Amino acid sequence: MRKPPAIDELDRLIRREPLDDESARHLTERMIIALQAAVLLSHASYAIADAFCATRLAGDGGMAFGTMPAAIDHNAILERNFVQGRQWVDLRGQSSKHTYK
């Protein structure tokens, strides 16, 4: 199995000397994001974990709403979090076949 680029980045940050305050904060942030990804990969649905890893680890998404990569299963994420008893409209503007009870 090939090492993800995020792990290479962590390795580079850990080995950086001297580790000043700014570098330490950046390293801590990247470690926390990697740990969050590990938890999601172990305990969340594939759609949620995939979206998190693509946007936070791979850098394939922006920081604003609606900037996730097109390959992300947006509808699976919305469906998972939908309020029961309502019909929803998917991202293509089509009414869902599901009515949650």
CB 29 within 8 A of CB 37: no
Q: Find the mean pLDDT for residues 6-12.
A: 82
Binning the chain into helix, strand and coil, the percentages to the nearest 5 are 50, 10, 40
pLDDT digits (tens, 9 = 90+) for 79-94: 777 666 666 566 565 5
User: Reduced to 3 states, what is the DSSP secondary structure of residue 49?
Assistant: helix
pTM of the entire structure? 0.67
Question: What pLDDT sits at residue 85?
Answer: 62
pLDDT tens digit sequence for 32-63: 999 999 999 999 888 888 888 888 887 767 76
Q: Which residues contact 91 (CB under 8 A, 6 or more apart)?
A: 74, 75, 78
State yes or no: pLDDT of 19 exceeds 70.
Answer: yes
Check residues 61 and 18 and name the one with the higher pLDDT.
18
